[in-house]
């Protein structure tokens, strides 16, 4: 299945000189698969080194971090020659071998022609506080869960994917295609962007009932693996706090009676802990592991938006929409029927948060003041754009009217289930087009 990161990998490959590359991303988003596929297609040979699978590899790095000696040792380990210019070396699960991570500095300085890519589960956690991390000697790319566009490409909806690829903002979508894309979006709300869930849908899509049940079982198993990671990498006490905070994201927001997410309340997350300061480390851990998306709530609008934030004034979203449904015990049938009450608004909001972060690499902000709020505020080239999210077809927005009267943005966007239309400076787009309109 095609991924947007492919072109970024090609750009890295064609740099001269190039630094070793680290791919960051949550567990099971497809890092190993895409790097292996890229290596086999674009290099003479792919040399795969997995530090979690074979702990004896640590011996190669304990003597010293001389790149030439390390390459020779790896050749004996792999029982084949490594061509420093034509081959790709892939260090997988590199977080299990800190010295291998440190060695990237010396590969950068002494062997800039060599091709090395590294990846690992929860690597962001292991990079935090790493005193011997090769600062400035490596490059980073992020691999996120599949976006909606990647999803429809992955399930062979080629004409729909091509239409989005070539869409020009301001065009009305053919109504038949619009309805089809809305239905595909509902399926994406069930599968989310984890490759295994999407593969499961592809395998069973002739029977939607079986497909959705298989996907939910898979997602429950994946959540258990995340909880196991919490215990493995953070200790028993911290892992309990991590799991409770992670689970509380949909639980808190399901209690809201309106259609958008509110500020995250820490006192409701972990029993006996009611302050942000005592849970800040837990929150940072989940964010470094890329398991949550954090949006800052600002009360005043000025550029840059980052100057108006308070660390404890935030919204939290789940990093994957399918796992959000599983965490919420939300039945696939309810999603397909688009019948899940006020939580439908939060689901749509989480979808837009994921799409903004994945497609635009934008930090997330929302605006809230005097009981009115705008779900997302973006800063594009110094110009503020408010984005209101509506799950259904009703698009009347008191909040946006108040925001526009106060700040006079040059354009405003309302996302909903409706087709495109425009009224004055406010543009109305379907939710599934968020990747094409900024």
**Alpha-carbon distance 306 to 129, whole Å?**
24
Neighbours of 15 (CB within 10 A): 11
- Bridge-partner residues for 118, per DSSP? 22, 91
For strand 376-380 and strand 383-389, is the pairing parallel, antiparallel, or unpaired?
antiparallel
Q: Among residues 99, 97, 23, which one has the least CA distance to residue 290?
A: 23
Looking at residue 279, its pLDDT comes to: 81
- Bridge-partner residues for 376, per DSSP? 387
Q: Please name the helix (run of DSSP H) or strand (run of DSSP E) that holds residue 429, with its range, or none.
A: strand 426-430
Looking at residue 259, its pLDDT comes to: 53
**Helix runs in 339-383, H state only:** 343-360
**Alpha-carbon distance 318 to 431, whole Å?**
18
Looking at residue 254, its pLDDT comes to: 61
Q: What one-character DSSP code corresponds to residue 17?
A: S
**Alpha-carbon distance 146 to 261, whole Å?**
23
Give pLDDT tens digits for 255-309: 554 455 677 877 667 777 767 777 888 888 999 899 999 999 999 999 999 999 9
Residue 57 has φ and ψ, to the nearest 5°, of -60, -20
Query: Residues in the chain with pLDDT < 70?
Result: 126-131, 236-237, 253-261, 267-268, 274
Residue spans of the domains in the chain: they are 5-142, 148-436
Residues 67, 72, 77: CA angle, nearest 5 degrees = 120
For strand 88-92 and strand 314-318, is the pairing parallel, antiparallel, or unpaired?
unpaired
Architecture of domain 5-142: 3-Layer(aba) Sandwich (3.40)
Helical axes 236-254 vs 276-288, angle rounded to 10°: 90
pTM over 0.95: no
Neighbours of 311 (CB within 10 A): 11
């Amino acid at each position: 299945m095609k991924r947007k990161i492919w072109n970024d990998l090609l750009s890295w490959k064609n740099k001269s000189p190039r630094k070793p590359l680290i791919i960051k991303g949550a567990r099971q988003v497809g890092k190993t698969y895409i790097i292996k596929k890229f290596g086999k297609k674009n290099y003479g040979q792919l040399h795969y080194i997995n530090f979690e699978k074979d702990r004896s590899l640590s011996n190669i790095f304990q003597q010293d971090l001389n790149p030439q000696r390390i390459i020779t040792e790896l050749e004996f380990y792999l029982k084949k020659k490594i061509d420093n210019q034509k081959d790709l070396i892939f260090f997988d699960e590199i977080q299990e071998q800190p010295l291998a991570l440190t060695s990237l500095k010396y590969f950068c300085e002494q062997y800039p022609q060599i091709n090395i890519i590294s990846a690992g589960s929860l690597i962001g956690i292991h990079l935090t506080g790493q005193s011997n991390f090769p600062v400035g000697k490596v490059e980073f790319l992020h691999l996120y869960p599949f976006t909606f566009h990647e999803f429809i490409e992955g399930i062979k909806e080629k004409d729909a994917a091509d239409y989005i690829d070539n869409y020009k903002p301001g065009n009305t979508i053919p109504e038949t295609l619009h309805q089809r894309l809305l239905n595909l979006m509902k399926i994406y709300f069930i599968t989310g962007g984890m490759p295994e869930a999407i593969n499961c849908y592809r395998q069973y899509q002739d029977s939607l009932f079986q497909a959705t049940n298989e996907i939910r079982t898979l997602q429950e198993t994946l959540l258990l693996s995340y909880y196991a990671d919490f215990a493995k990498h953070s200790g028993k006490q911290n892992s309990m706090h991590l799991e409770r905070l992670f689970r509380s994201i949909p639980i808190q927001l399901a209690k809201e009676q309106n259609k958008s997410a509110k500020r995250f309340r820490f006192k409701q997350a972990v029993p006996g802990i009611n302050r942000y300061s005592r849970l800040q480390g837990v929150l940072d851990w989940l964010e470094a592991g890329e398991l949550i998306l954090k949006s800052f709530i600002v009360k005043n609008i000025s550029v840059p938006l980052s100057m108006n934030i308070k660390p404890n004034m935030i919204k939290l979203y789940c990093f994957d929409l399918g796992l959000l449904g599983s965490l919420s015990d939300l039945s696939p049938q309810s999603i397909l029927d688009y019948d899940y009450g006020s939580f439908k608004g939060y689901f749509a909001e989480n979808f837009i948060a994921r799409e903004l972060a994945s497609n635009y690499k934008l930090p997330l902000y929302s605006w809230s003041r005097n009981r009115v709020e705008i779900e997302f505020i973006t800063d594009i080239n110094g110009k503020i754009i408010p984005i209101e999210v509506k799950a259904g077809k009703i698009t009347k927005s008191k909040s946006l009217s108040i925001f526009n009267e106060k700040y006079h943005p040059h354009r405003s966007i309302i996302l909903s289930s409706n087709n495109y239309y425009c009224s004055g400076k406010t543009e109305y787009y379907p939710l599934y087009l968020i990747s094409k309109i900024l």
